[in-house]
Structure 1
Amino acid sequence: MHAHLRRAGRGLADGRQPRHRHGPDCQRRLARHGRPRAGVFRPGPVPGQDGRVRFPVRRARDEVALVSAPAAAAAPPRAWAQLVGYYASLGAVGLASAALGPTLPGLAEQTGVSLGGISLVFVARSVGYLAGSLLVGRLYDRLPGHPIMAAGLGLMAASLGLMPFAPWLWALAGLMAVLGAAEAAVDVGNNTLIVWTYGDAVGPYMNGLHFSFGAGAFLAPLVVAQVLGQGGTIAWAYWALAALTLPPALWLARLPSPGGRAPAAQAAPTAAAGGVSRYGLVALLTACFFFYVGAEMGFGAWVYTYAERMGLADAASAAYLTSAFWGALTAGRLLSIPLAARLRPRTLLAAALSGCLASVGAAWLWPGSPALLWAAALGTGFSMATIFPTLMAFASRRLALTGQITSFFFIGGSLGGMFLPWLIGQWVEPAGPRVVLAVIFSGLALDLAAFLALVAFTPRPAPPSA
């Protein structure tokens, strides 16, 4: 068939009309669709600049589109319904992830422990997420994906609904570990199944998917603030979050799962900058992810307690402050897309880390101003928005990324998200609430130091060859 198309394309390029010799492919097409009616426009093949012949395909009443031969596989008919389920389910993960910070003092009071003791829930949640990430990937390769995601969302709803009934710290930590594993199942499933659904056209849908997580993280403190403002307790806040997690589970359970697709063959990996420097490069990049995720999770989890303990906000205002941080991070993710197309990754990273340090440092050095704290929360969230994806782009320019190397980055980020919030919890009572911003500022400074070491001690990528 390809030889027939090339002959037709050469005829059109020379200005000659193609001869209507109906080969086997044309015979099958005529048998399926019939011969064209008189007076009906049926455009013929059109040669493209890349040498491939394209057949015009009528998509609407007056619209003709060119489809390459062989044409790319289209999305399934119910892809829009699957997309709604994916966006809603990852939004539910954002709700559960951002709800812990505003409810942390209430959970400490419920279990009868100090704020230093309640910080153990961060460790339990991160351990559960790591374990779930390692185990659930094999399930998606062997079983239909939507039932697994629905089960993960149901497990999330059950864990959130049982949080108010945990009177002991160990029971609360166990529920947090289950919640982390369920979040990993939904997170891995979303990022895997959306690729299987849209294939090479997944780019804009993937960006929207991660925006939905930020939207959920933005809404969670608002839900908590509304419940507390109406005279409710954190128990009602967790039950409301559990109720919001159930609709995506029911939606996905009724949809057929997309089939798995083998990944495309990748180019052979090349060395980064020699044997020893390759390991050092991976270590420095992992350190960057460690400190960044730790600072992000530390600020999102502890800014509520900092504002309340410093007397800069009451319970409802502190919840709105947390929501403002996540909202700025979400808006920054949208606005950073055109910036990433215009600026080099190292330039964008340097500006983002500098903005984070300036915002957190100002609030730390001048701690008595509520307005400055609000400005710092907005500035920190907006500056942090682009760091994680730009670090991935920066890494791809310095070495050939493999699955194993990428897993190191995510493990480093998970460990940072576990360690820095736990460290803040150990110091917040003996050293006072100002230690919250001090630890976050130190983590960001170490992140900047690791990034500067990357720029200084690794070679720049070679320009692409013509």
Structure 2
Amino acid sequence: MKLFDDRLWTLFKRHWQHTLTYWSVFFSFGLCIALLGPTILDLRCQTHSTLQQITWVFFSQQSLLLVGSTFGGLFKKTLQSSLWTLFSSTLAISLVFAIIPLCHHVIMLSVAMAIAGLAMGVIDTIANLRLVQLYQKDSAVFLQALHFFIGLGALVSPLVADPFLSEENCILSSNWTTNSSSSDLHHLRRARGGLAGPGVMLHNMSHYPLHTEGVATTEVGYAFWIMALINLPVPVVVLALMYNERLLPCSNSSPRLLDRDSEGPAYTDQGHSSVFSCCRLRNLQGRPPSFFFIHILGGAILFITDGIIGYYAGFVYTYAVSPPLLMGHKAAGYLDSVFWASITAGRLACIYLSYRYTAVRLLAFSLVGVILVQCMMLLLYYSSVFLFIGTCVLGLCISSVFPCMLAFTEDILNYKGCATTVLVTSASTGEMVLEMIVGSVIHSRGSYAFLLCGLIASFICCGLFLLLLYVQHVHSPCQSGIAMTETPKPGQP
């Protein structure tokens, strides 16, 4: 244990500036992904739009996030292009935060959030790729820390926004009484699941008379300006790394020639770009079938688990205030915060657990835990107390799946495939698609389907993981054979 810790510490000291830079850009990612939810109703007032119109802001952000995740690897060919892209993306997030208070039409707001979503997707792919490239077989610990910073940013931004959110109707209209506006706005603000996408769960809030004509009195713009300032040091950190690597025009010297250790001793850039470039024929020739199944199964697992995170955070409030629980709006409103806090705590704990256990063991424990806790929540569906307990345990169990699956899959493929790009894109797709699917099922079958959908998805995910372990067993001899054929004979260059 002591030798292992010393080795990791030595690696970190060698790459500390790169590592802290990638961690900081993920903090920027977390800030952006969590700020839209609690502020969306004030933004509706600012843009004088209807609920149906404002949901397109969510859709534009999530759609472009998927696009950015898919094509983000194109900007990773060299360290210079990666850092310039990260600098542009993090600076774009600060600029978007700054201009959102000036967007007084829903189309302008949708365009601004689309730009932010594109920047988030690019950050997601490049930071994961670069960290895996940097640490390779030791990347599990650092990936856990990387994804902890998403949770940290997601916890900070709602705290900043809360003092500036309107307690009563933020559009003054002579046709709406103060008492009704206050209670209705409070309920809608908590029901983030109803605002997850166009047409999803809008039936639950269509009877609330939210006016679009009148004087907007919201002060939410101050929250976005504060967040722009909080995020501003992140592009500065990226710029400092670029200066240190002599990648800026103002540098007096030419770019440093990084030795192979600084980019990973066995890493090759083959295939690590966009999803579509991974499908080029020259990158696929000579690959055994197990190579493709590993990508498909790993992507499918993250499609489901990140989808579970997305729809659970989106609909747990709606489930809690519906029969049979009928929880109070104030108590139910804490469930989403408990869930994200437990995810952040779980990723923090897994930084240490990754020292002690392999990624496959942590994955097995996490997926079994997700199934068990959802079984208990389904059996005790009438208990409000256990819903809080189950929400906390579910967040702890599912928190480490993404970084562990990324480290595990890249290790199977010996860091030569397109695993990172495929997994990041699959996770982004699942978070958007599964939330919409579950929302439609809840719409047609009732709120009880919320827990049932999660349990079914968890069993499917566990089955896919067992299949992945079998494919790994089949793939190992193939990988050894490929490595032997690629090793040059004595006397060959």
1:382-421: per-residue Cα shift (whole Å, max 9, x none)? 0012212322344356544423243222222221122112
The residue number in structure 1 matching 2:314 is: 301
The residue number in structure 2 matching 1:131 is: 67
Distance 1:280 1:148, change over 3 A: closer
Shift of 1:94: 0.8
1:287 aligns with one of 297, 300, 309: 300
Kindly indicate whether residue 95 of structure 2 is the aligned counterpart of residue 158 of structure 1. yes
Kindly indicate whether residue 211 of structure 2 is the aligned counterpart of residue 211 of structure 1. no
1:112 aligns with one of 41, 50, 72: 50
List runs of 5+ in structure 2 lacking aligned partners: 1-9, 169-217, 246-255, 271-283, 481-493
Conserved in 1, the CA contact under 8 Å of 2:72 and 2:123? no
For 2:309 and 2:352, the matched residues in 1 are separated by: 23
Distance 1:85 1:265, change over 3 A: closer
- Partner secondary structure for residue 266 of structure 2: coil
Shift of 1:325: 1.5
- Partner secondary structure for residue 99 of structure 1: helix
1:246 aligns with one of 232, 241, 245: 232
For 2:438 and 2:59, the matched residues in 1 are separated by: 12
Distance 1:158 1:437, change over 3 A: farther
Conserved in 2, the CA contact under 8 Å of 1:119 and 1:421? no
- Partner secondary structure for residue 473 of structure 2: coil
**Matched AA of 1:129:** L
1:151-200: per-residue Cα shift (whole Å, max 9, x none)? 32232133334456656665544333211112234445655777899999
Shift of 1:138: 2.6
For 2:135 and 2:288, the matched residues in 1 are separated by: 37
| 1:321-340 matches, cutoff 5 A | 321-340=335-354
- Partner secondary structure for residue 111 of structure 1: coil
1:352 aligns with one of 316, 341, 366: 366
Conserved in 2, the CA contact under 8 Å of 1:324 and 1:378? yes
* Higher RCO (Cα < 8 Å, 6 or more apart): 2
**Matched AA of 2:88:** A
Superposed CA RMSD in Å reads 4.5
Kindly indicate whether residue 202 of structure 2 is the aligned counterpart of residue 266 of structure 1. no
Kindly indicate whether residue 401 of structure 2 is the aligned counterpart of residue 387 of structure 1. yes
Conserved in 2, the CA contact under 8 Å of 1:221 and 1:320? no
For 2:465 and 2:42, the matched residues in 1 are separated by: 38
1:312 aligns with one of 327, 332, 339: 327
Shift of 1:121: 4.6
**Matched AA of 2:232:** L
Conserved in 2, the CA contact under 8 Å of 1:345 and 1:394? yes
List runs of 5+ in structure 1 lacking aligned partners: 1-70
- Partner secondary structure for residue 403 of structure 1: coil
The residue number in structure 2 matching 1:30 is: none
Distance 1:426 1:332, change over 3 A: same
Distance 1:305 1:119, change over 3 A: farther
| 1:28-43 matches, cutoff 5 A | none
1:81-134: per-residue Cα shift (whole Å, max 9, x none)? x766654442121121123444456667863134xx766555433432243342
For 1:343 and 1:103, the matched residues in 2 are separated by: 40
For 2:422 and 2:21, the matched residues in 1 are separated by: 29
**More divergent stretch after superposition (86-95 vs 283-292):** 86-95
For 2:23 and 2:423, the matched residues in 1 are separated by: 24
Conserved in 1, the CA contact under 8 Å of 2:137 and 2:411? no
**Matched AA of 1:249:** P
Conserved in 1, the CA contact under 8 Å of 2:371 and 2:459? yes
Shift of 1:288: 0.9
Conserved in 2, the CA contact under 8 Å of 1:224 and 1:319? no
For 1:350 and 1:83, the matched residues in 2 are separated by: 27
Larger radius of gyration between Structure 1 and Structure 2: 1
| 1:9-158 matches, cutoff 5 A | 75=14, 86-103=22-39, 111-114=49-52, 121-133=57-69, 134-135=71-72, 137-138=74-75, 141=78, 143=80, 148-158=85-95
Distance 1:461 1:253, change over 3 A: closer
Conserved in 1, the CA contact under 8 Å of 2:125 and 2:424? no
Conserved in 1, the CA contact under 8 Å of 2:144 and 2:403? no
The residue number in structure 1 matching 2:250 is: none
For 1:398 and 1:225, the matched residues in 2 are separated by: 44
Conserved in 2, the CA contact under 8 Å of 1:122 and 1:418? no
Shift of 1:379: 0.8
Conserved in 1, the CA contact under 8 Å of 2:302 and 2:427? yes
**More divergent stretch after superposition (414-423 vs 352-361):** 352-361
The residue number in structure 1 matching 2:182 is: none
TM-score in terms of structure 2 length: 0.63
**Matched AA of 1:283:** I
1:54-81: per-residue Cα shift (whole Å, max 9, x none)? xxxxxxxxxxxxxxxxx999759xx66x
Kindly indicate whether residue 431 of structure 2 is the aligned counterpart of residue 417 of structure 1. yes
For 2:134 and 2:264, the matched residues in 1 are separated by: 15
1:344-381: per-residue Cα shift (whole Å, max 9, x none)? 54443232122223334444554454322221221111
For 1:341 and 1:460, the matched residues in 2 are separated by: 27
